[in-house]
Amino acid sequence: MNIWKPLVLILPVIVVTTGVVYADRDEREGEGRGWFSSFRLDVAPVTDPLYQEECGACHFAYQPGLLPERSWQKMMTQLDDHFGDNAELVEAKRQQIEAYLGTNAADHANYKRSKGFARSIKADEIVLRITDTLYFKRKHDEVPARLVTGNKDVGSYSHCAACHTDAAKGSYNEHEVRIPGVGRWDD
Amino acid sequence: MKYLIRLSALLVCITPLSLVANPVVEQLLQDYKQQSPDRPTAAKGKSLWVLAVRVQGVDEKRSCTRCHGDSLANDGQHAKTGKTIKPMSPIVNARRYTDAQKIEKWFRRNCKWTWGRECTADEKASFLLYLTTSTD
C-alpha cells in the first residue's frame, strides 16, 4: 500500500512539468504542437509542377496555404500587372494554376500556419501581399528592418528562403532561421 | 593562325542561319518570316538586346541586359526578386530555345516589361538569331 503514496505525490509534478515543456514548445515553434492537434505545423509544400515552374521561375514559389482563396483569385486575374511585373500566362495554364492555388489556399488548408494566416485577415478584406497579413506582421515584428530590407543578402521580407532555410519545404520553424550575416534567430 | 580565327569568326557572323540547328527555333523563324516582310539579322538582334528604352510611368531605362546581364554566357538576375536567371546562350545552357511556347511566353512578358509593348515578328526573329548564334 505504501508504494502508492510517493506516486500520488509525484503524479501532479509530472503532469505540471509536461505541460510546461509543451507550453514552451508551443511558444517557441510559433504555433501549437498540442497533444490533440494535428502534427502539421506549418504550411503544405508546393506539389504542383506547373505552379513551381511558372511562378517559381521568377520568385520563391510561395505555398498556396499562405493566402486565402479570394486573394489568389484576384491575383490570377491581374497577371499583366503582377506587383509591377508582367506575368501573363496562356489561359489554360492560368486556370490550372488558379485552381491549384484555390484548392490549397489558407482558408481550406488544415495546417497551423495556414489557419493562422486565414484567421488574421478580415472576412471582407482581400490581401494580395503575404507580408501585409496581420499574421505575417505579428511573426516578424521583432525582426528589425535593418536585418532584412537593410541587409543586401536579404533585401525584402518577401524573400522567405533568404532566412528560412527550409521555406521551400513549407517549414518556417524559428529554429531554422539563419539571417545572412547574422546567423541564428531564436530567442 | 590569327587570320584564320578572324576569318572563321567573320564567317560565323555572316552565316548565322546555318548555325541554327535547333528545330524549335527554325520553326519559329519560319513563322515570324510569314508575319513580317523585314529581314531579321543577328546584328539587329544584338543592337535591340542592349537598346535601353524608357517607358512612360517607369522611372528607369530598361534593356534586356537589365536582367540578363552583359554576357549571354553568364547568369542574370531578376530586377525585383533577385532570382538567378540562367544564361541565355544555348552553348552553356542547352535547355534554352527547346520549347516554343516558353519562348513566346517570355517574349510577350519581357517585351512588355522592358519596352512597354509586344515585340514585332521581325524583332523576335532577330533576337532569336542573335541569342542562338552569338558567343557574347
Per-domain residue ranges for chain A?
A: 39-129, 142-187
Output the nine-digit C-alpha cell for A90: 496562356
Residue in this structure with the C-alpha cell 511562378, named with its chain if needed: A55
Could you tell me the sign of the dihedral formed by the alpha carbons of B80, B86, B87, B90, in that order? negative
The question of ipTM being above 0.85 is answered as: no
Mutate to test the interface with A, among B81, B103, B117 (most CBs of A within 10 A): B81
Does pLDDT of B48 surpass 70? yes
For helices B121-133 and B42-50, angle between their N-to-C axes, nearest 10 degrees: 100
Distance to chain A for B77, nearest Cα, Å: 9
pLDDT digits (tens, 9 = 90+) for B62-116: 999 999 999 999 999 999 888 999 999 999 999 999 999 999 999 999 999 999 9
Residue in this structure with the C-alpha cell 518556417, named with its chain if needed: A172
Q: Which domain holds residue B118?
A: 2-133
For chain A positions 153-172, those within 8 Å of chain B (CB to CB) are 155, 158-159
> Does A58 lie at the interface with B, CB-CB under 8 angstroms?
yes
DSSP 8-state code for residue B120: P
Please name the member of B101, B105, B113 whose beta carbon is closest to the beta carbon of A85: B113
Inter-chain CB proximity A155 and B82 less than 8 Å = yes
- Region of B113 please: left (phi>0), alpha (psi -120 to 50) or beta: alpha
Mutate to test the interface with B, among A52, A54, A58 (most CBs of B within 10 A): A58
- Say how far apart CA A106 and CA A50 lie, in whole Å: 19
Total number of domains in chain B: 1
Long-range pairs for B20-24 at CB < 8 Å and ≥24 separation? B20/B128, B20/B129, B20/B132, B20/B133, B22/B90, B22/B97, B22/B98, B22/B132, B24/B97, B24/B98, B24/B99, B24/B100, B24/B103
> Does A59 lie at the interface with B, CB-CB under 8 angstroms?
yes
The one-digit pLDDT tens for each residue of chain A (187 residues) are 566 666 556 655 555 555 444 444 443 344 444 444 444 579 999 999 999 999 999 999 999 999 999 999 999 999 999 999 999 999 999 999 999 999 999 999 999 999 999 999 999 999 999 999 999 999 999 999 999 999 999 999 999 999 999 999 999 999 999 999 999 987 6
- Say how far apart CA A84 and CA A23 lie, in whole Å: 43
> Does A20 lie at the interface with B, CB-CB under 8 angstroms?
no
Please give the interface size between A and B, counted as residue pairs whose CB atoms are below 8 Å apart.
32
Inter-chain CB proximity A86 and B82 less than 8 Å = no
Chain B residues touching residue A84 (CB < 8 angstroms): 80
Sequence letter at residue A134: L
Please name the member of A59, A60, A86 whose beta carbon is closest to the beta carbon of B113: A86
Domain of B120, CATH number, reads 1.10.760.10
Q: In chain A, whose CA is at the least distance from the CA of B84? A: A58
Residue in this structure with the C-alpha cell 501573363, named with its chain if needed: A88
